[in-house]
């Protein structure tokens, strides 16, 4: 799932959930342009849409402690019904210009790529600015800080409490790199 930030503000997980809930309500009410795939309008289908929206929106929870931080919060990557783990992609756009994208997950993988594109990018590729891109967990502890001078960013991922075998919870901070004082 992708979400974007623009100069006008951040599209938060809560806003995404509200957006999905509004679409579900439109489908139930029979609004045709809200359901381009002609979804059957039964309460069971709406319930499935609501549950899917809740699960997707709950993967990243923002806890903005510092207004300078670009991302600051909890990322949770859980095992999906097919056995894979969830991934979230954040597109950073400033004044309509795509600057970079941040990949959180699957599981304990992280990636930052310059620019934004619709096609998924391989985290192991040379274009990923985070090395290592997959973090090792030892004794339920893991943390790493990456400095990305080309984008003037610092990205930190720390394994958070509440992680279990089917979900890993990470505290994420993406911030501008401090300018050296002279």
Q: Where are the domains of the chain?
A: 10-55, 59-176
Q: Whole-prediction pTM value? A: 0.68
Residue 99 CA to residue 151 CA, distance in Å, equals 9
Residue 27 CA to residue 46 CA, distance in Å, equals 8
Dump pLDDT digits (tens) for 53-97: 334 433 788 888 889 999 999 999 988 899 899 899 999 999 999
Q: Which helix (H) or strand (E) holds 162?
A: none
The pLDDT-based confidence of 180 (bands split at 50, 70, 90) is low
What 43-46 contacts at long range (C-beta under 8 Å, 24+ apart), as own/partner pairs, is none
Dump pLDDT digits (tens) for 4-23: 544 334 443 333 333 334 43
The Cα angle at residue 154 between residues 152 and 160, in degrees rounded to 5: 160
CB proximity list for 8: less than 8 A, separation 6 or greater: none
């Amino acid at each position: 799932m992708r979400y974007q930030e623009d100069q006008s503000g951040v599209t938060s997980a809560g806003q995404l959930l509200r957006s999905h809930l509004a679409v579900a309500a439109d489908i139930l009410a029979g609004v045709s342009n809200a359901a381009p795939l002609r979804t059957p309008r039964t309460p069971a289908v709406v319930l499935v849409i609501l549950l899917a929206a809740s699960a997707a929106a709950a993967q990243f929870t923002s806890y903005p402690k510092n207004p300078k931080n670009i991302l600051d919060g909890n990322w949770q990557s859980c095992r999906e019904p097919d056995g894979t783990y969830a991934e979230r992609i954040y597109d950073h756009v400033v004044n309509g210009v795509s600057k970079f994208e941040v990949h959180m997950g699957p599981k304990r993988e992280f990636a930052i790529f310059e620019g934004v594109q619709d096609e998924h990018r391989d985290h192991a590729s040379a274009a990923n600015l985070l090395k290592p891109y997959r973090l090792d967990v030892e004794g339920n502890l893991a943390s790493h800080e990456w400095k990305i001078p080309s984008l003037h960013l610092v990205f930190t991922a720390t394994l958070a409490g509440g992680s279990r075998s089917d979900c890993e919870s990470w505290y994420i901070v993406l911030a501008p790199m401090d300018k050296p004082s002279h």
